[in-house]
Amino acid sequence: MKNKKILNDPVYGFVGIPHGIIFSLVEHPFFQRLRRIKQTSLTHFVYPGALHTRFHHAIGALHLMQQAIEVLRSKDVDITPEEAEGACIAILLHDIGHGPFSHTLEHTLFNGVTHEELSLLFMERLNEIFDGQLSLAIDIFRGNYPKQFLHQLISGQLDMDRMDYLNRDSFFTGVHEGVIGYDRIIKMLSVQNGELVVEEKGIYSIEKFLIARRLMYWQVYLHKTVLSAEQMLIVALLRAKALTRQGHQLPASPPLAFFLQREPSRADFEQERDQLLGQFAQLDDFDIVSALKSWMFADDKLLAFLSSSIINRRLFRLEFSHTPFDKTYVQEVQQRILEWSGLEKWALDYLVIRGKETNSAYTKTKDEIRILHKNGMVLPMSQSTDYDLQSRAVTKFYLCYPKGVFSQQK
């Protein structure tokens, strides 16, 4: 451990960050910004301990990547020092493109630009800053490197990203249903014909992993109260953007004001990469919270209501249904909202929020988890287990609106 910076992680204990380019990347302001972005957005409104950050998660994923590389090398998988470093850099920076409150505002601040695309832009910029030392990491991140199993460790059904966030999020929320046997799964990893596989004796750990992932989504990530808070945050930002474009001057930090006035597209980020990344790199959770505290006293009645409701945790009611909500019922809710608020019909876009969420334990895709059987055959997970993988897909429709409007629920 002499060649590593040692950190005490609450989940794994002592973890090491290798000196050199990896430690330099951790020290860079682009990465340090992740300390100010919550890993699970507004989940702490339900689980008070869920205050961990993207910084925690990235360091944890790096730690698991180091373990995975060590295990694979012990099974005579050829991984050069340069490849190991590249894979570690790729997993370290895989979430560097996340904006405030992680996934919640991903499609609100920008026009069709995902955090994965922003992560790649950040990596390309850092590659210039560090004189090409990230080139191999970028190839692995993109999936362009010949050894595909390295990309699968970063982005796949059993990547180190999922392995850490399930383990970490269950730890900080206290939701024990999400605990996975990450250490056993990693020890069961191997490579066959250039692709990542799991040895057959690890199949029950994989089943537990899939069950835990499904439970964590409904119990934590898509919890009705969490979803309500996140939808309120989205419409509050949308209202602020609408007012700004109408000429209203709203209090906001310079980077937030920039993105309230402008909604850059993917093409804009490619053409003005350095300027837009510079603005984005100054934006984090604190900008949003500070703005909401100011907007509580805005002249606009709707923005003030949304902002104060979020800050003081006066959250909307959210109803789930396994079928689309009846049109008559939705119209009744909308009419009650108009009478209650005294606002015009345009306000319904902010006060009656509809949508749907789908979650499945497992998806049969081209990158399906592959099991290495004792007879040497490699078969997809769906052909290697008696666990019913496909029956777990569930879609729930939701209707979200201010509490107190109805004295009765649907």
Q: What is the pLDDT of residues 168-213, one digit of tens each?
A: 999 999 999 899 999 999 999 999 999 999 999 999 999 999 989 9
- Tell me which H or E stretch contains 148: helix 148-152
CA distance 103 to 111: 14
Long-range contacts of 333-340 (CB under 8 A, 24+ apart): 333/399, 333/401, 333/405, 333/406, 336/405, 336/406, 337/401, 337/402, 337/405, 340/402, 340/404, 340/405
CA distance 234 to 267: 23
**Residue 67 belongs to some domain of the structure:** yes
**Residue 259 belongs to some domain of the structure:** no
Residue 2 has pLDDT above 90, yes or no: no
Q: Please give the structure tokens belonging to residue 291.
A: 């703005």
**Residue 159 belongs to some domain of the structure:** yes
The pLDDT of residue 391 is: 53
**Residue 346 belongs to some domain of the structure:** no
Residue 94 has pLDDT above 90, yes or no: yes
Radius of gyration of the chain from Cα atoms?
A: 23
Give the range of the structural domain holding residue 84, as residue numbers without chain letter: 4-222
The pLDDT of residue 410 is: 41
**Residue 94 belongs to some domain of the structure:** yes
The pLDDT of residue 385 is: 85
The pLDDT of residue 382 is: 85
Structural domain count of the chain: 1
**Residue 30 belongs to some domain of the structure:** yes
The pLDDT of residue 364 is: 67
Q: What are phi and psi of 282, to 5 degrees?
A: -95, 0
- Which residue has 């009645």 as its token pair? 301
Query: What would the pLDDT profile of 70-79 be if each residue is shown by its tens digit?
Result: 999 999 999 9
The average pLDDT across 124-146 equals 97
CA distance 406 to 397: 19
High-pLDDT (> 70) share of the chain, %: 96
**Residue 80 belongs to some domain of the structure:** yes
CA distance 34 to 126: 15
- Nearest by Cα to 30 from 130, 111, 112, 106: 130
Q: Which amino acid is at 381?
A: M
CA distance 168 to 53: 10
Which range has the worst mean pLDDT, 59-63, 173-177, 233-237, 362-366?
Answer: 362-366
**SS3 of the chain: helix, strand, coil, percent, to 5:** 55, 10, 35
- Domain CATH number, residue 212: 1.10.3210.10
The average pLDDT across 82-99 equals 97
Query: What would the pLDDT profile of 287-339 be if each residue is shown by its tens digit?
Result: 999 999 999 999 999 999 999 999 999 999 999 999 999 999 999 999 999 99
**Residue 379 belongs to some domain of the structure:** no
High-pLDDT (> 90) share of the chain, %: 87
Q: Is 63 helix (H, G, I), strand (E, B) or coil?
A: helix
Q: Specify whether the CB–CB gap between 202 and 188 falls below 8 A.
A: yes
> What average pLDDT does the structure give for the chain?
94
Q: Specify whether the CB–CB gap between 122 and 96 falls below 8 A.
A: yes
